[in-house]
């Protein structure tokens, strides 16, 4: 099982990071270690040696069949379910790595950094390109997004990633986070919603 994640895929989030409504020329793809996966509503243990840790709520897509060099027009055949996940990010470390032009694995792929909600079948929704999701922190909504605002849509991401990596059943794609990312603290209660259904719950310890 591979975990792919997409950086800088919402313009307003890019403005938060860099002050500009920036669109990359191609998707910004990075991977997370399999030990990053946090599911079944297990707690997130905040690493106390990494500085500020931010939540980044995202729509996550589950790959359902083997594929390589997938055409964008056929990409919809390669996923069967979606949910909300959190790409936990060591923000202080990320800023340091970005400034030095270094890879992101340490700030993005550490243990427990890929929280994953309960899957909902794609057939439940009219379009994967019009899904609303939001994240609550201690009962208050802190992030809201819609996949219609993705700079690179789901099918584009699958076509692009599959040029470089063979996609296999069970692989995950974290599609990017909207504006509103912020820090977590021990004791926080995070809840993720896809449309009106709660699919994700994480307690920070």
Run of H or E including 189: strand 189-194
Tell me the domain boundaries of the chain: 3-204
- Confidence (pLDDT) at 177: 95
Find how far residue 46's CA is from the centre of its chain: 18
Mean pLDDT score of the chain: 95
pLDDT digits (tens, 9 = 90+) for 103-142: 989 999 999 999 999 999 999 999 999 999 999 999 999 9
Token pair, residue 130, equals 């019009």
Q: Report d(CA 170, CA 173) in Å as an integer.
A: 10
Q: Report d(CA 96, CA 107) in Å as an integer.
A: 10
pLDDT digits (tens, 9 = 90+) for 131-149: 999 999 999 999 999 999 9
pLDDT band at 11 (very low <50, low <70, confident <90, very high): confident
- Confidence (pLDDT) at 62: 98
Q: Report d(CA 87, CA 56) in Å as an integer.
A: 5
pLDDT band at 30 (very low <50, low <70, confident <90, very high): very high
Instruction: Give mean pLDDT, residues 155-162.
Output: 98
Question: Any idea which fold 3-204 has?
Answer: Fumarylacetoacetate hydrolase; domain 2 (3.90.850)
- Confidence (pLDDT) at 142: 98
């Amino acid at each position: 099982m591979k975990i792919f994640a997409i950086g800088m895929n919402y313009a307003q989030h890019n403005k938060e990071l860099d002050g500009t409504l920036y669109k990359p020329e191609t998707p910004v793809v990075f991977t997370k270690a399999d030990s990053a996966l946090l599911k079944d509503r297990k707690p997130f243990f905040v690493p106390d040696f990494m500085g500020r840790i931010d939540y980044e709520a995202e729509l996550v897509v589950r790959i359902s069949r083997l594929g390589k060099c997938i055409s964008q027009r056929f990409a919809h055949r390669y996923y069967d379910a979606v949910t909300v996940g959190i790409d936990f990010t060591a923000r202080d470390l990320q800023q340091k790595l970005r400034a030095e032009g270094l890879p992101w694995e340490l700030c993005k792929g550490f243990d427990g950094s890929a929280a994953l909600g309960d899957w909902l079948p794609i057939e439940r929704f009219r379009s994967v390109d019009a899904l609303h999701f939001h994240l609550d922190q201690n009962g208050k909504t802190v992030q809201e997004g819609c996949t219609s605002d993705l700079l690179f849509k789901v099918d584009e991401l699958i076509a692009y990633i599959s040029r470089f990596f063979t996609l296999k059943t069970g692989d995950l794609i974290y599609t990017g986070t909207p504006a509103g990312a912020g820090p977590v603290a021990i004791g926080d209660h995070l809840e993720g919603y896809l449309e009106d259904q709660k699919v994700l719950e994480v307690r920070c310890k």
